[in-house]
Structure 1
Amino acid sequence: MSAEEHRWPCAQCGADLRFSPEDGVLKCDHCGYTQALPDAPPARLSPLRELDLYDALKDGLAPSDLEQVRITPCPSCGAQVEFRGATHATECPFCATPVAIGTGTERRIKPQALLPFAIDERTGREEMVKWLGNLWFAPNGLVEYARKGRALSGLYVPYWTFDAATRSRYSGARGEHYYETRTVTVQVNGRHEQRQERVQKTRWYNAAGWVSRRFDDILVLASTSIPRRYTDALAPWNLNDLTPYNPDYLAGFTAEGYTVSLSDGQAISRQIMAAQIDRDVRADIGGDEQRVDRIDTAYSAETFKHILLPIWMAAYKYNGKTYRFVVNGQTGKVQGERPWSAWKIAFAVLLAAVIIGTIIYFNQNA
């Protein structure tokens, strides 16, 4: 089966259409023609179909849940750049390396849903420049370069979401504080004095029980091209606005293929669930302190979705170093590599030394 090609020619002039976040339509930058997208109810009004996790792990998904896609690894950073429509060459959004499509295709799990871009490139750039400007020691040259540099790349980043019902049996202990008064000897002005002080102690009682929780849409980044600390910091995402997957939303944008497998994504989701289950157990144990010796969790009703989330990305090479910044395409929240100006740091250190020296001088001569 060959990869399905999606093309978006303008009905008026033949140029390529692109999805316009500000208008919510397909738009031609050449002649201004617009084409409406079919109405699709958001996830909060029409729940999206979840896929059975174990069917997928056993390669038991229906053919309709899979697709053939054209994916080429970036020769520099290894990102899986996905080509759709008539595009055959582009620039890697992660490291700005030119990438051309190969001849092969891959069979992948089809996205069930996506969050359309809600802010346009201009707004994304404004938010990024504002964020850079608020960093005290950012080089002025980089801030100016970002303001006037090339356009940000609009990228749909792959994520997994996981659902599960859990029931956990635990054993541990509950600690309850109590206080005793004791006499201590302290030294005051060279003399020994006795004083009374209260000392906190803890009584421990064995504890065991069960906790249950239903997890919904545990979000796991399915890409290794962006540091997870960046994408985690872009949260929260309003997943109630997820829209059933429609390739028209990708017109004019780049999509990345997932590089975190479904099984690895499940393992990460279970780590996230385990942290919440531990908090549930400690709340169930109660007391002033808790000791958790063991938690055994049974998982059931495990399902997943493959979704795409919108990110504006910039990769700038400045003074021989590449800086990457990401902007949440739904909310405008920014994260990235923190740039440092050696001159600004040196000036701040010098200024601090001058201020401290001045204070010492006046104190000594007061």
Structure 2
Amino acid sequence: MRFAPGADKLVCEHCGHEEPVTAGAGTGADTIESLTAIPSTRTRNKHLTEHDYQAALADALPPTAMEEVRTVTCPSCGASFEFDPHVHAAECPFCATPIVTDTGAHRQIKPQALVPFQLTEVQARAAMTKWLGRLWFAPNGLVQYARKGRALTGIYTPYWTFDADTRSTYTGQCGVAYYETRTVTVQVDGRNQTRQEQVRKIRWYPAAGTVARRFDDVLALASTSLPRGYVDALEPWDLSGLEAYRPDYLAGFRAEGYSVGLEEGHSIARVKMDRVIEQDVRRDIGGDEQRIHSIDTTATNETFKHVLLPIWMAAYKYRGKSYRFVVNGQTGKVRGERPWSWWKIAGAVLVAAVAIGVVVYLKQNQ
């Protein structure tokens, strides 16, 4: 049985038999009852709960929040992902390196929620080939190869989401613009002439204050298998589509284990929060320009979730070079390595040179 993207059901690929996704089979946040599982009052997903971040740092999460998983790490690209218990050999979905599994297992924080795949493999492939087709100077052969090549791989990619209440005190300066008139001398037809012009200047005033913001579901990629720039470019994700984790959603897909730990993920999220806080400070300072000397932020009520988000991935080798592409399995947004056709580039340069030559020729004849 395989989960059918866009439908809340499992489908047998051989006989077409259908079954609904098992209700109440969650092993994530919806089954945890402890002081460290805090009902989410801020998230749009009221049926999910949050883990207390400080409790996790103190290794005080309840046993029900943890699980023992059998994962394998690719010796080539370093990707970490789960194998079914009965699988002993396969290939890495990220770089196609053959892998033999071992019997090792380790404990990790359970996924609490996931966004189920909404796009089928056919739809994801169509989005990717359309994206490739819009790229100027992309090789036509690669586009055709991608359209007919090997199937895309569906991967549930690990993320951390963080919530926090922040309060930031700042010092800086508020700049107010004013204009002064000055006289300048310019040459016109070989003779000096004077004229007046307005010069913009800034008058600075000291500024200090406090801003507060409540953050909800700030994402931090918990994987190092794919280039962060590619995966970050797949945002935004609609996290209102998060569902409590159920193994049925993973049927027919792979789930990658997190390789970015909770503390590192928290640091990534705090960088995102700090950017927003800086914009809040600039708005609070006001004026025409702002200088920020210091920002001191205190975060409280910090909570987190471990979630899985759907990504279709393709890796193609075309004329000796590898190309990787990722497709948001919820929205169809595509990013990947930019292919170039040097024949197309040379042709464009030739056409441009001819056009310039024609223009020069016509001007000379005039």
Q: Is this a same-fold pair by TM over 0.5?
A: yes
User: How many angstroms does 1:186 deviate by?
Assistant: 1.0
Q: CA deviation at 1:45?
A: 5.5
Instruction: Give the CA deviation at 1:193.
Output: 0.6
Contact persistence 1:95–1:322 (CA under 8 A): no
2:17 aligned partner: 33
Matched, 1:214 2:198: no
Q: Hey, what's the Cα distance between the residues in 2 that align with 1:100 and 1:25?
A: 32
Q: Give the secondary-structure state (helix, strand or coil) at the position aligned to 1:258.
A: coil
Q: Which residue of 2 aligns with 1:12?
A: none
CA distance in 2, matches of 1:60, 1:45: 25
1:4 maps to none
In structure 2, the residue matched to 1:247 is: 247
Tell me the distance in 1 between the aligned counterparts of 2:269 and 2:108. Answer: 20
Displacement of 1:222: 0.4
8 A contact 2:45–2:242 mirrored in 1: no
Deviations 1:135-168 (A, max 9, x none): 1111111111101101000000000000111111
Inter-partner Cα distance in structure 1 for 2:47 and 2:190: 75
Q: Which residue of the partner structure matches residue 102 of structure 1?
A: 102
What are the Cα deviations for residues 85-117 of structure 1, in whole angstroms up to 9, with x where unaligned?
544333322212222321101111100000000
Deviation at 1:47, TM superposition (A): 3.4
Structure 2 match to 1:8:
none
The Cα shift of 1:23 comes to 3.3
Change (3 A) 1:303 1:89: same
- CA shift for structure 1 position 39: 4.3
Displacement of 1:61 after TM fit? 0.9
SS in 1 for 2:49: coil
In the other structure, the counterpart of 1:331 is 331
The runs of 5 or more residues in structure 1 that have no matched partner are 1-16
Deviations 1:55-91 (A, max 9, x none): 1112111110011111111121110021135443333
Query: Does the aligned pair in 2 maintain the 1:311–1:327 contact within 8 Å?
Result: yes
Letter in 2 for 1:255: A
Question: Is 1:179 paired with 2:179?
Answer: yes
| Distance in 1 between residues matched to 2:192 and 2:92, nearest whole Å | 73
Match of residue 233 from structure 1 = 233
SS of the residue corresponding to residue 70 of structure 2 reads strand
Provide the C-alpha distance between the structure 2 equivalents of 1:90 and 1:200, rounded to a whole number of angstroms.
66
Distance 2:51 2:174 in 1: 40
Greater CA drift, 29-38 or 44-53? 44-53
- Residue 262 of structure 1: how far off its partner (Å): 0.5
> How far apart in 2 are the matches of 1:350 and 1:94?
39
- Structure 1 position 288, deviation (Å): 0.4
1:105-254 matched pairs, under 5 angstroms: 105-254=105-254
TM-score, normalised to structure 1, is 0.93
The residue type equivalent to 2:49 in the other structure is: R
Of the structure 1 ranges 245-254 and 44-53, higher mean CA displacement relative to structure 2 is found in 44-53
Confirm whether residue 315 of structure 1 aligns to residue 299 of structure 2.
Answer: no
3-state SS, counterpart of residue 137 of structure 1: coil
Matched, 1:303 2:287: no
| TM-score for the superposition, normalised by structure 2 | 0.93
CA distance in 1, matches of 2:44, 2:200: 50
Relative distance call for 1:242 and 1:57 in structure 2 (3 A) is same
1:291-349 superposed Cα distances (whole Å, 9 cap, x missing partner): 00001111110000000000000011112211100000001111100101111111111
Counterpart code for 2:113: A
Q: Look up the match of 2:67.
A: 67
Q: Number of residue pairs matched?
A: 350
Tell me how far apart the structure 2 counterparts of residues 273 and 247 of structure 1 sit (CA, whole Å): 32
- 1:44 and 1:241 in contact (8 A); partners too: no
Question: Secondary structure, in 3 states, of the residue corresponding to 2:316?
Answer: strand
- The 1:272/1:44 distance shift into structure 2, 3 A limit, reads closer
Residue equivalent to 1:267: 267
Contact residue 51 and residue 303 of structure 1 kept, 8 A: yes
Counterpart amino acid of 2:319? Answer: N
The aligned amino acid for 2:280 is D
Amino acid at match of 1:36: P
CA distance in structure 2 between the partners assigned to 1:330 and 1:100 by the alignment:
31
One-letter amino acid of the counterpart of residue 91, structure 1: E
Between the aligned partners of 1:269 and 1:45, the Cα distance in structure 2 is 20
